[in-house]
Amino acid sequence: MVDTLKIESVPISRRDSFNARDTRTRNLKPFNSGDIKILLLENVSAKAVDILKKAGYQVEFHTKALDKAELIEKIKDVHAVGIRSKTKLTEEVLSHANKLLTIGCFCIGTNQVDLNYAASRGICVFNSPFSNSRSVAELVIAEIILLSRQLGDRSREMHEGVWNKVSKACYEIRGKTLGIVGYGHIGTQLGVLAESLGMQVIWYDILPVMPIGMSRAADSLDELLAEADFVSLHVPETPETKDMIGEREISLMKKGAYLINASRGTVVEIDALAAALKSGHLGGAAVDVYPTEPLANGPGFESALRNCPNTLLTPHIGGSTEEAQRMIGIEVANAIVKYINSGASVNAVNFAECDLRAIPDTDLTTVRIVNVHQNVPGVLRQINNILADFNVNKQISDSKGDVAYFMADVTVNEHSEINTIYEQITAINENIITRVLF
């Protein structure tokens, strides 16, 4: 059964239909999809829960990740799932997701999701790549100061009852050089904060980037490693960044320099770093991410870095502040709502980014067709042939890899025409998912 749609003929001015910022716009909602169910895991922000509930969705909230068997059972009947870094949405898990439309990663990384398989199933993935930038940058600044004064070791000694007042190999950070590898949103904020404390900033990135403040680009990673007193890593997890800092790269660093990794655990060869710390070649290190990380809080963490001198180990908390989690919750929850209700895929990770301007609230005869299909020749022709007998107000199509995304606002005069459009498009062999929003 489909919902009842009242079709009325209402005059629409050109200004009303064009002005995307007009507050008098229709709030679209899914058509013929039943009640929208959302599964939120890993204690995502309460603000995200509020946004999704206010959208009228049924929200099931869990403070922890689920084991694979329970996750497979839960995911069968939900339209969206929200996760952080511990939940692994593999092909095996996603193959059971019969109704899933979108995945919200309430974090920066998306390597815990099989993005290509999700796209092949018509599942759009969103993340929040920028909301925790300040939190990570502030953590790194704190670690620079802690390392330069050996405060981690002094604090541990005091807790053990040892008074060890020393000044050898303890330094001010003013005038020291910070080398930032990966000059993106976190790297640039870190550079600004470091300069405000009197540090000189150099950076290296594979893309041409405009320098901020007095910072300057290094010509190569090797040049940066040789010049910097502190090296801070802020790169994504890719095949190119795996083990990018190993024995060779560490040997290029100054004797007594410090290495900080708050990016991804696969970027640094842990054994090589541990050896450099124990030998005294490096003066210290701060590590927040690891090649493998526990799925739950508690004892059992093992690493070659444990008990290394002047080494700060933190449990992947770079973005774990109330402010960052709230902003991440708002950004990802709103992306989920917009995708489900209006089809907007802006800022999607695995989909082409598409959107259409809003439909005026005076227009009660327009429905929005949203379609995901295999990116092969001839599909758009088939869709447009189906829509040829209707007035198409606007449409957009784009592709990413093997999957294409199509949106169109179509005027209908009879309730039965909606079913006709829907049935004919879903009958196309290359169709993955078709939705009608009204």
Cβ-contact 86, 67 below 8 angstroms: no
The token pair at 329 is 């919750």
Cβ-contact 324, 135 below 8 angstroms: yes
* Catalytic site residue from 79, 84, 134, 264: 264
Active site residue 316: yes
Question: For 226-323, where are the E strands, in sequence order?
Answer: 230-233, 257-261, 282-287, 311-313
Inter-axis angle of helices 322-342 and 133-148, nearest 10? 160
Contacts of residue 159, defined as CB under 8 A and 6 or more positions apart, other chains included, come to: none
- Give a three-class secondary structure readout of 134-169: HHHHHHHHHHHHHHHCCHHHHHHHHHCCCCCCCCCC
Handedness of CA 326, 331, 335, 338 (dihedral sign): positive
Active site residue 264: yes
* Catalytic site residue from 157, 293, 323, 414: 293
d(CA 210, CA 213): 10
d(CA 249, CA 226): 9
Q: Phi/psi of residue 333, each to 5°? A: -65, -40
C-alpha to C-alpha distances, 298 to 67, 87, 301, 318, nearest whole angstrom: 17, 17, 8, 19
Handedness of CA 10, 434, 345, 384 (dihedral sign): negative
Inter-axis angle of helices 151-159 and 133-148, nearest 10? 70
Half-sphere exposure of 56 (CA within 13 A, CB side): 10
Active site residue 249: no
Place of tokens 């790269």: 249
* Catalytic site residue from 316, 368, 373, 435: 316
| CA nearest neighbour of 290 among 261, 319, 318 | 261
| CA nearest neighbour of 127 among 350, 401, 352, 398 | 350
Q: Active-site positions?
A: 264, 293, 316
